[in-house]
């Protein structure tokens, strides 16, 4: 039991939350995460709607969608930035785009998936990269699917509004070209231009459930998502990614993630970049 806290949080309540999160998101919460879970959920007990963590867990397990959404949103981590892990975008420019120019010259159709898109910086970075470096961009049929489990971050991503002092990774040229600055009391905020937003479809999606789309995607970004999954969940997810990737399609993972001893359907191309085997 956690002590020295405002409300009792028993091991039993912690285990109930852990099991719910594992079942519905695939995220494994180790015993060391108990204090973190308490900190993220205690405001619901403080609000007075639930008398204790036990009654909160009862509501969670009863199928109360508001409680379930709250827990899922609270437990998922959404750290991101524009052009984060920039070597992936360099690889897009120097390797992937030239390959696609050769392979897709006839159809000029590209389909991309940002899985675990958080507040939108990743798919917007992909869109800006394509607009800046794909020749004859206007002649291409390009759609980017951006999905996340957290309803709150999807709403923020759709809005495309960010504090200007949080735009790490964005050059002055990109800022003036792809963003519109707010005025007066909103002068510290910027908004993504419509021409960039129009390339992206944002939707809430649980990666562990059935997917409404069947592919084929030319490349998929799934970065800093699977580190929270156990090995079997990772194995199943990467197999499903391979199924919806086009032949020779690419999969980009986070800096601490790997397919080593998990999937044999991809070739390693360095720096957490993988290419589907033909």
Residue 183 pLDDT greater than 70, yes or no: yes
Q: Count of CB atoms within 10 A of residue 198's CB? A: 11
Confidence of residue 1 (pLDDT cuts 50, 70, 90): very low
Confidence of residue 272 (pLDDT cuts 50, 70, 90): very high
Are both 67 and 91 inside the same structural domain?
Answer: no
Residue 209 lies inside a defined structural domain of this protein? yes
Q: What's 232-277 look like in SS3? A: HHHHHHHHHHHHHEEEEEEEEECCCCCCCCCCCCEEECCCCEEEEC
Are both 261 and 190 inside the same structural domain?
Answer: yes
Residue 129 lies inside a defined structural domain of this protein? yes
Residue 246 pLDDT greater than 60, yes or no: yes
Are both 158 and 245 inside the same structural domain?
Answer: yes
Are both 120 and 257 inside the same structural domain?
Answer: yes
pLDDT tens profile 28-41? 888 888 998 998 89
Residue 93 lies inside a defined structural domain of this protein? yes
Q: Average pLDDT for residues 249-268, to the nearest whole number?
A: 94
Q: What's 171-190 look like in SS3? A: CHHHHHHHEEECCHHHCCEE
Are both 159 and 109 inside the same structural domain?
Answer: yes
Instruction: Please report the pLDDT score of residue 6 as a whole number.
Output: 82
Q: Average pLDDT for residues 116-144, to the nearest whole number?
A: 96
Instruction: Please report the pLDDT score of residue 165 as a whole number.
Output: 79
Please give the span between the terminal C-alpha atoms of the chain, in angstroms, as a whole number: 52
Q: Count of CB atoms within 10 A of residue 195's CB? A: 10
More confident residue, 253 or 47: 253
CB 118 within 8 A of CB 147: no
Are both 91 and 46 inside the same structural domain?
Answer: no
Domain total in the chain: 2
Catalytic center residues = 40, 148
Residue-averaged pLDDT of the chain: 91
Q: What percent of the chain has pLDDT over 90?
A: 69
Residue 60 lies inside a defined structural domain of this protein? yes
Q: Average pLDDT for residues 22-32, to the nearest whole number?
A: 83
**The total number of residues written for the chain in this structure:** 278
pLDDT tens profile 60-118? 999 888 888 888 878 876 668 899 999 999 999 999 999 999 999 999 999 999 999 99
Instruction: Please report the pLDDT score of residue 54 as a whole number.
Output: 94
Q: Average pLDDT for residues 262-273, to the nearest whole number?
A: 95
Residue 14 pLDDT greater than 80, yes or no: yes
- Residue ranges making up the domain that contains 63: 11-75
106 burial type by CB count under 10 A (0-12 exposed, 13-18 middle, 19+ buried): exposed
């Amino acid at each position: 039991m956690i002590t020295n806290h405002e409300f009792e949080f028993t091991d039993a309540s912690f285990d109930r939350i852990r099991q719910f999160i594992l079942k519905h998101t695939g995220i494994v919460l180790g015993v060391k995460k108990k204090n973190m879970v308490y900190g993220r959920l205690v405001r619901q007990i403080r609000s007075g709607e639930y008398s204790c963590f036990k009654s909160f867990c009862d509501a969670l397990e009863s199928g109360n969608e508001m409680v379930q959404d709250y827990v899922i949103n609270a437990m998922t981590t959404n750290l991101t930035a524009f052009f984060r892990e920039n070597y992936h975008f360099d690889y897009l420019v120097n390797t992937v785009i030239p390959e696609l120019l050769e392979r897709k010259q006839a159809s000029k159709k590209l389909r991309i998936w940002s899985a675990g898109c958080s507040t939108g910086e990743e798919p917007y970075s992909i869109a800006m990269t394509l607009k800046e470096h794909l020749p004859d961009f206007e002649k291409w049929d390009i759609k980017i699917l951006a999905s996340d489990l957290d309803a709150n971050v999807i709403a923020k991503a759709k809005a495309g509004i960010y504090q200007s002092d949080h735009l790490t990774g964005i050059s002055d040229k990109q800022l003036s070209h792809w963003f519109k600055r707010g005025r007066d009391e909103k002068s510290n905020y910027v908004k993504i231009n419509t021409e960039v937003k129009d390339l992206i479809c944002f939707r809430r999606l649980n990666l562990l459930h059935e997917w409404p789309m069947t592919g084929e995607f030319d490349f998929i970004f799934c970065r800093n998502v699977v580190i929270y999954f156990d090995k079997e969940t990772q194995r199943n997810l990467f197999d499903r990614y391979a199924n919806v990737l086009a032949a020779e399609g690419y999969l980009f993972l986070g800096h601490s993630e790997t397919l080593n001893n998990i999937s044999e359907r991809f070739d390693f191309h360095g720096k957490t970049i993988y290419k589907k085997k033909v």
